A and B are shown apart, each in its own frame.
Chain A
């Protein structure tokens, strides 16, 4: 158990809909990262938050947004969903800098029908 929790575990929704994925980092970790893993594109870095502020941005679509709240939990919002958004979404956390060890959550499997 990494100490990082993600909810929900599974999510099935329809095209055009909006969903919110939630992540709680390990106690004491200030950085939260979001990743997408799809069959055709492998693992991709989406975005990093550090202590409530956006720190680094990867291949995140404009239809996606994230935030980190004062209690350090984070949410990833996916809107206008398309079939191609079906993937595993992982959250990870680290103490501070992104080149420190990251601890991964179990992931949320999103299926868009």
Chain B
């Protein structure tokens, strides 16, 4: 079993829909990152969370440390949101960043 699990693996949505991507982890963490990787390959850091909730534009990220779970929400999705979304956690036991396998999102007009 992977230490960081994401669901779903693939997601298709119509423009305007509310999107949720989930991340569960099994290790103790210092922080959790949500990353976005576009088809061209570039990676952008969306959020870094150690507790609570963060919002940036149409994106919202939450984390529940006790349940070892995080969610990334996209409100009013748009075709330009089409990308792979990757959850990664910094493990304080092993002192390394562990990545989930990513969620491929496609938003159609």
Q: How many residues of A contact B (CB 8 A)?
A: 25
Give B49's nearest chain A residue, CB to CB.
A99
Which residues between 71 and 111 of chain A lie within 8 Å of chain B, taking CB atoms?
88, 90, 92, 97-104, 106-107, 109
Chain A residues with CB below 8 A from B61, complex form: none
Encode B36-55 as 1/0 by CB contact (under 8 A) with A. 00000111110010100000
User: Is A104 touching B43 in the complex (CB atoms < 8 A)?
Assistant: yes
Closest chain B residue to A99, Cβ basis: B31
A57 — which chain B residues lie within 8 A by C-beta? Answer: 96
Enumerate chain A interface residues (CB-CB to B < 8 A): 2, 33, 35, 42-45, 55-58, 88, 90, 92, 97-104, 106-107, 109
Instruction: List 14 other contacts, CB 8 Å, given A99-B90, A101-B45.
Output: A33-B97, A42-B99, A42-B101, A43-B86, A44-B99, A56-B96, A58-B97, A92-B43, A97-B30, A98-B30, A98-B95, A104-B42, A106-B41, A107-B43
